[in-house]
């Protein structure tokens, strides 16, 4: 957003602080953030809304610089941190490293907190260059060494609403009553259709079931989604709370649900052997993987088996005799699912859909919340089946409502920025790879990215180039305009399949039902057009918040795990190189840093265009993707970082 006066153009944006004193301003509609040097921040705090003007224009190798002129609105009013007590006062050391200064707390405002307490501090004065910010303690979470306090502190720090208001709980309990025959009126009865849920072993919010049969060259695929909108009415207390949360948040040791358990684990969850209301997307798919016919209808279903990924993988991949006998009625359907999944995936690959198969972390905690094992979480055949079927349903629903010209919420993913693609192209040339771009603007087709990932599969540089390619992509978001999905190489995409844990899916279900019942008149169209931009924006923001909180908890538990492994040696791969040092990732997905000061015996400099650290005298070169041997030096729990050093200099010269 910008405003003009006689002297200069002023912009309004959000300040993103860096712990080193400088920062960036995100301005809506501007392709790249504005860099704010340390002396130009005007005392802005992280997430403040600020007015800024440009002091240096963008060049080919540097982003534009700016200066903050005014703080319009404070973004953070409450801070989570560790209390440090002195005689007559104390300080709160913020957990958020983007908040540079400690916060002064007078004795009478400390609530009796002692050194080591994790607290919530309300900022009463933001201070200036000469004075620290001031605040008062509003909550003592617990001592930093108490079990569970570490994760609760992160939950509080991201302002994740962990408790439901009483009014919301009461409403959930009122609507979550057992079904009666009247609830099935005007719904198609699919209770005799063989169907299953396939989820993680610990999942309790089961919002999707699948069914499949085959006849005369056509696969009849059913994706049956919990009809949450039947229980959560628009503008109700339940609905407002769900919008406020935006999404369920999945942390290492807990789930913070979007909806109360009476709904998410109860009447909305597609529990085995229980009648449930659903919205079903019934698709007829030919042997080329094309949807030749479809219906989106209200149904009543009854799931035959509650399957988990591990058991289905053992049935299909390991041919487990005992499990095949136990689930004999479902095994033919599972085998059919594997076949259709393969067809769908191959068809998606043909059009250029990108599959970043980067393993997530699986962190196992003991009963005290201490991590005892960390390993990559691998996708098996059953995970791919569910992924393929959900993608197919999401595409089908999105295309259906696009051609109806209905108000809608799409899931969009933009084309990568040209400068990032050109930089990626320069880097992969060092490995003998290339990607085709169109014209000087550097536009790339997703098929080019897919080809690159296929070429590097199984090579030593696969993980490295995959990560760099992923970092070149834009972030997916929710949008009222159907702008396509670059990563999936499709023109139509939405989120339809998880209304228990994602608000946009719930909103889409309401729109679908208005069409099913013939109620989408001009008044309804005007209503949805007025609220959906806000829904899309809020949902995107809450999704980002959840992602950041989940990453922060992972960082915490990985650092905590490595506390018991200081002094141990590991093989690793260089996963990142910056001017500050070299990042190394271990096979268990833990990442640590070797600071440039530990690269002894030479002066090392960072070559940005090739992501290399080079010794000026020795010619030793550290490259992304290079295998190295490290020792764990130190873990700093206050910032959740792990320090490594090389066991011995890695001789790799130009």
- Local structure of residue 264 (DSSP, 8 states): I
As its CATH architecture, domain 78-146 has: Beta Barrel (2.40)
**CA dist., res. 553 & res. 151, Å (int):** 7
| Closest C-alpha to 331, from 212, 193, 190 | 212
Same fold across 2-73 and 566-646: yes
CB neighbour list of residue 133: distance below 8 Å, 6 or more residues apart = 101, 103, 104, 123, 125, 126, 127
* CATH number for the domain formed by residue range(s) 2-73: 2.40.50.140
**What's residue 653's pLDDT?**
44
Beta strands in 393-551 (DSSP E): 410-412, 477-479
Domain ranges of the chain: 2-73, 78-146, 166-411+487-553, 415-473, 566-646
Question: Which parts of the chain sit beneath pLDDT 70?
Answer: 1-7, 60-61, 357, 439-442, 648-654
Best CATH choice for the domain 566-646 from the list 3.40.640.10, 2.40.50.140, 3.20.20.70, 3.40.190.10: 2.40.50.140
| Closest C-alpha to 411, from 402, 420, 424 | 402
| Closest C-alpha to 209, from 498, 641, 460 | 498
What's the predicted TM-score (pTM) here?
0.90
Task: Tally Cβ neighbours within 10 Å of residue 274.
Answer: 14
**What's residue 7's pLDDT?**
56
**CA dist., res. 474 & res. 418, Å (int):** 11
**Maximum distance among all Cα pairs of the chain, rounded to whole angstroms:** 83
**What's residue 248's pLDDT?**
97
**What's residue 175's pLDDT?**
92
User: Would you say 586 and 375 are in contact if contact means Cβ atoms under 8 Å apart?
Assistant: no
**What's residue 376's pLDDT?**
86
User: Would you say 99 and 46 are in contact if contact means Cβ atoms under 8 Å apart?
Assistant: yes
Terminal Cα-to-Cα distance of the chain (whole angstroms): 48
Tokens 């108490």: give the residue.
146
């Amino acid at each position: 957003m910008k405003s003009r006066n006689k002297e200069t153009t002023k912009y309004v944006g959000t300040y993103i602080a860096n712990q080193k004193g400088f920062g960036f301003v995100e301005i809506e509609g501007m392709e790249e953030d504005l860099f704010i040097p340390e002396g130009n921040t005007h005392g802005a705090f992280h997430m403040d809304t600020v007015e800024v003007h440009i002091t240096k224009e963008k060049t080919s190798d540097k982003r534009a610089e700016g200066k903050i002129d005014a703080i319009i609105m404070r973004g953070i009013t409450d801070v989570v941190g560790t209390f440090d007590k002195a005689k007559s006062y104390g300080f709160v050391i913020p957990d958020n490293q983007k908040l540079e200064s400690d916060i002064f707390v007078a004795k009478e405002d400390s609530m009796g907190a002692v050194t080591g307490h994790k607290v919530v501090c309300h900022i009463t004065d933001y201070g200036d260059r000469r004075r620290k910010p001031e605040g008062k303690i509003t909550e003592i979470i617990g001592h930093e060494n108490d079990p569970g306090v570490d994760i609760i502190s992160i939950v509080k720090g991201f302002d994740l609403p962990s408790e439901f208001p009483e009014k919301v709980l009461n409403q959930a309990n009122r609507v979550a009553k057992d079904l009666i025959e009247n609830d099935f009126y005007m719904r198609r009865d699919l209770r005799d259709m063989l169907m299953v849920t396939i989820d993680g072993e610990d999942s309790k919010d089961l919002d999707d079931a699948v069914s499949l049969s085959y006849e005369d060259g056509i696969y009849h695929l059913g994706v049956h989604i919990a009809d949450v909108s039947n229980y959560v009415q628009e503008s109700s207390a339940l609905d407002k709370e769900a919008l406020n949360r935006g999404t369920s948040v999945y942390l290492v040791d807990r789930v913070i649900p979007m909806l109360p358990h009476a709904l998410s684990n109860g009447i909305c969850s597609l529990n085995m052997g229980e009648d449930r209301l659903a919205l079903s997307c019934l698709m007829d798919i030919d042997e080329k993987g094309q949807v030749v016919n479809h219906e989106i209808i209200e149904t009543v279903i009854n799931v035959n088996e509650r399957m988990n990924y591990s058991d289905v993988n053992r049935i299909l991949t390991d041919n487990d005799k005992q499990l095949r006998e136990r689930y004999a009625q479902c095994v033919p359907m599972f085998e059919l699912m594997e076949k259709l999944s393969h067809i769908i995936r191959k068809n998606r690959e043909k059009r250029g859909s990108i599959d970043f198969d980067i393993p997530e972390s699986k962190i196992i905690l003991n009963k005290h919340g201490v991590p005892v094992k960390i390993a990559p979480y691998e996708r098996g055949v059953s995970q791919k089946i569910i992924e393929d079927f959900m993608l197919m349903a999401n595409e089908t629903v999105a295309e259906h409502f696009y051609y109806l010209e209905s108000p809608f919420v799409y899931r969009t993913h933009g084309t990568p920025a040209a400068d990032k693609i050109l930089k990626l192209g320069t880097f992969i040339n060092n490995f003998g790879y290339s990607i085709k771009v169109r014209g000087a603007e550097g536009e790339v087709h997703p098929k080019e990215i897919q080809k690159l990932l296929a070429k590097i599969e199984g090579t030593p540089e696969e993980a490295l180039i995959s990560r760099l390619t992923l970092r070149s992509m834009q972030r997916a978001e929710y949008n009222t305009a159907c702008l396509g999905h670059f990563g999936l190489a499709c023109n139509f995409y939405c989120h339809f399949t998880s209304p228990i844990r994602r608000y946009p899916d719930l909103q889409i279900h309401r729109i679908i039902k208005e069409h099913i019942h013939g109620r989408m008149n001009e008044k309804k169209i005007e209503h949805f057009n007025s609220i959906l931009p806000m829904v899309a924006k809020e949902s995107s923001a809450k999704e980002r918040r959840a992602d950041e909180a989940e990453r922060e908890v992972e960082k915490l538990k990985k650092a905590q795990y490595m506390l018991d492994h200081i002094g141990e040696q590991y093989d690793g791969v260089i996963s990142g190189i910056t001017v500050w040092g070299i990042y190394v990732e271990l096979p268990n997905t833990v990442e640590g840093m070797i600071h440039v000061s530990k690269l002894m015996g030479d002066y090392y400099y960072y070559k940005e265009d090739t992501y290399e650290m080079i010794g000026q005298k020795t010619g030793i070169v550290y490259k992304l993707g290079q295998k190295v041997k490290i020792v764990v030096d130190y873990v700093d729990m206050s910032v959740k970082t792990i320090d490594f050093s090389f066991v011995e200099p890695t001789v790799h010269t130009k």
